[in-house]
Chains A and B, each alone.
Chain A
Amino acid sequence: MKADPRGVLTGVHFIDGDHACCEGALAAGARFAAGYPITPSTEVVERFASRVPTVGGTFIQMEDELAASIALQGAVWGGAKAFTVTSGPGFSLMMEHIGYAAMTETPCVFVNVQRGGPSTGLPTLPAQADMMQARWGSHGDYEVIALCPNSPQECFDLTIKAFNLAEEFRVPVMFMMDEVVGHMTEKVVIPAADEIEVVPRKHTHKSTKEYLPYQTNGNPVPEMAHAGEGYNFHVTGLTHDERGYPNMTPQTQDKLVRRLQSKVRAATDRIAMFEEEHLGDAEVAVVSYGITSRVAQRAVDLARQRGVKVGKLRLITAWPFPENKIKEVASRVKALVVPELNLGQMVREVERAAGGQAKTFAVSHAGGGVHDPQEILRVIEEANQCR
């Protein structure tokens, strides 16, 4: 399906990542957002609030992040594509409802413009320290999808992708920006609406009598019906059967939770997006994501100039973790260097996936700024000495 032209601001713009994310959401068909303002994410919904009435949508500023993160799910069950936007402390408050979205299979997008933490931390400065929270922050076993843009252009492109993945898999998608990407202004090209592919809601074709809300029919992702269409259905965070009714037995739990997990895990390679360069002859690979990938690129270029055989692997999809890709790269290089704006999060996943095939080096940073490329270069050179 092509994008609705009313929401697409076709043209060449010089805007920041937050605004580009908002335009991506509008292009993807989002017509509802609920939010509670928090630096450095507020600009996304600020723009949405002024733009969305022109396309017949709604923005509600809620009383807090708990309310925002559940209001958007009500909108989804009412038939809208919806999202919310927040940063660190607000993301923490949303965890309960991220689990609810996973359990009820509510397709939606949570944008987190990451700032320094823990707690209120550094409101106006960047970090990438919510990467594990994005994956594991809510209780119970579940899977989400998480994407990491590294430019305003990608904030536009990948927000559309985030909405599309949410619809395809009926999962909450975490859009993991950071303060630098959010507040950085660059050229953003917004194509014509007929060049933008949008995944529509997986709406049921069954009659109101036949429809069972969590019946899978061979496809692990069930079809949806919306409130007010005449279908009877029940949406609950309790363990439920195909009818959506609570059924708290180990058998139902096993069937449901395994399906919630496998519908995403089985598609890991298909969901995985990454960018690679110079990996052909590389002996060291730098694995990075988000804003750090741009700083790392400079370090890779400097190391190449010095004759170090180093390549780069940029993760665009952080979750589900692209294990097979890391495994494959690790089998060809002697070391993996992982710079990130935290004290060691995705590096442990990289190390686990590498399975001892290559040595893993973290280049940690507590946040509040970006790495000095020289620091990454130093670790690349150290990694190049190993074995």
Chain B
Amino acid sequence: MQLSEIRIAGFGGQGVILSAIVLGKAASIYQGAFATMTQNFGPEARGGACSAQLVLSDSPVLYPYVTRPDILVVISQEAYNKFGPELKDGGTLIVEQDLVRVSHIKEGIKVFSIPATRFAEELGKRMVLNSVMVGFFTAITHLLTPEAVRDAVADSVPANFRELNLKAFEKGLEYGNGVLINSPELRGFEAAAVVEE
């Protein structure tokens, strides 16, 4: 895994920080790589802007912050407006499609959308939308193995919500794999992502 800078952003309470913890744990504990996570949040318990920065690498991470993210995951319009312009040229944008309207996108940015909130609601709890996003992220980016992320999800959520979160993860993963298969223009990206591993 090359050094990858990732930002996950949304509102407090959407599980932004937990998503980053799951992905960081998957990389550093279940996949033998290195991960450093830092976070920014306002004084509000929920509702304020919230973002997590995650740096993944095969070698120890020195600089802890994200400067230009390779991958931006946004779950709110405010987060998109604020962090969209930071995304690296040719980077990957992952959005919750019902919460974010993508506009003014730079050429070369690969955009992937998922109705994660709707999926989470269908599973019975809106709260697990972050696990849907984590599954989708896993499928789209190929940075982490589904096994590693699955273990990290199971390990990071309360026991009584474990099964629900794992279902949500599988839903996002499956949807992501479907998006890649059904998007001929994105197959090249998928192949490139696999080679990069």
Contacts and interface: CB of A to CB of B under 8 A. Distances in A.
A206 to B, nearest CB: 49
Contacts of B35: 14, 186-187
Nearest to A301: B62
B19 interface: no
- Interface extent on B, as a size class? 10 to 19
A229 B117 CA distance: 63
Interface stretch (A177-185, A191-199, A271-279): A177-185
Interface string A301-345: 100000000000000000000000000000000000000000000
B62 A370 contact: no
By DSSP majority rule, is chain B's interface helix, strand, loop, or mixed?
mixed
B37 interface: yes
A51 interface: no
B25 interface: yes
Interface centre among B20, B21, B34, B36 (most CB of A within 10 A): B36
Contact of A186 (B20, B36, B39): B36
B29 interface: yes
A373 B63 CA distance: 8
B28 interface: yes
Contact of A298 (B24, B34, B38, B62): B62
Contact of A14 (B21, B61, B64): B21
Contact of B38 (A14, A185, A187, A301): A185
Nearest to B25: A14
B65 interface: yes
B63 A187 contact: no
Interface string A43-70: 0000000000000000000000000000
A142 to B, nearest CB: 34
A12 B32 CA distance: 12
A100 B62 CA distance: 38
Given A14-B21, A298-B63, A184 B36 contact: yes
Contacts of A187: 28-29, 34-35
> Chain A: interface residue count, which band?
10 to 19
Contacts of A301: 62
Given A14-B21, A297-B62, A183 B28 contact: no
Given A14-B21, A14-B28, A184 B37 contact: yes
Nearest to A152: B36
B141 to A, nearest CB: 19
B18 to A, nearest CB: 11
A93 interface: no
A257 interface: no
Contacts of B36: 184-186
A187 B54 CA distance: 13
A293 B191 CA distance: 38
A184 B34 CA distance: 13
Nearest to A291: B64
10 contacts: A14-B25, A180-B38, A183-B39, A185-B20, A185-B21, A185-B38, A186-B37, A187-B28, A291-B64, A295-B62
Closest 10 CB pairs of A and B: A185-B37, A187-B28, A14-B25, A294-B62, A298-B62, A297-B62, A186-B36, A12-B29, A184-B64, A298-B63
